[in-house]
Structures are given as structure tokens and as C-alpha cells.
Amino acid sequence: MNDNYICETNYIHKDVINEIKSKLTEPKQHLQLAEIFNILGDPTRIKIFQILSISEVCVCDLAALINLSQSAISHQLRFLRQANVVNYRKEGKIVYYALRDEKMKKVIDYGVKYLNEK
């Protein structure tokens, strides 16, 4: 271990610690944030979110847009339904999907904006 990267004394800066603690989110929110990033942790799900942020679409259309099988898309959609971030409705034999709310769209939009600013 390189000792240049550790403190040579054990002095706790209580004022800094207290300020940081006052700004940290609650542990429950840490778990919720981790769940959100887990939901977004797959490129196929990112594509699905981008598509659903534009329009409600059926599984067939998602499969065509992403160039994956309907089975693979359905697997991802099942994950997103369980995470409670998409809605679906049936119209005859066709199942349409949409984002549950605009919050996840904002997260994706912010990520894209971040990438485009580099």
C-alpha cells in the first residue's frame, strides 16, 4: 500500500463531517437510487426508455426498433413492470407499453444531455 494516500494523523474534521451528514440522503433513499440505476443498467432497457419517452408502442414495434426478438423485449419489459416504471394495456391481442410517469424520462434526458456536453 502506498502511504502517500493516507492521512498521517487521525484527526476528524467534525465541522466537515457534520455539514456533509446534514446534506446526505437517508439510507432508504440510497437503496431507492441503487434500484433506479439497476433499472437503467442495461443498454436494451435504456433504448426501451428512450422509445417509450417518445410514444406508447407495442412489443412488436419495440422488437423492430431495437432489432431484438419479441421474447428478449418481453423479458426486459417484465423486469420494468416489476420495477413499476412502465404501464401496459391490451387492445385485442396487442399489448402496448408506456412510461408510468415522466420521472424516468427526465433521468434519461439528463444522461443524454450530460453525454452531449462532453
pLDDT higher than 80, residue 55: yes
Domain ranges (residues) in the chain: 12-116
Work out the average pLDDT over 87-94.
Answer: 94
- The pLDDT of residue 111: 87
Confidence at residue 6, expressed as pLDDT on a 0 to 100 scale: 79
Q: What is the pTM of this model?
A: 0.77
Highest mean pLDDT among 24-33, 36-45, 59-68: 59-68
Q: How many residues does the structure list for the chain?
A: 118
Compute the mean pLDDT over every residue in the chain, rounded to the nearest whole number: 90
Among the ranges given (7-11, 18-22, 106-110), the one the predictor scored with the smallest mean pLDDT:
7-11
| DSSP for 41-107, written as a single string | -SHHHHHHHHHHHH--EEHHHHHHHHTS-HHHHHHHHHHHHHTT-EEEEEETTEEEEEESSSHHHHH
pLDDT for the residue 18? 92
Question: Would the pLDDT of 3 be above 90?
Answer: no
Read off the pLDDT of each residue in 33-39 and give the average, rounded to a whole number: 88
Q: Please tell us whether the domain made up of 12-116 is placed in CATH 1.10.760.10.
A: no
**pLDDT the model gives residue 2:** 57
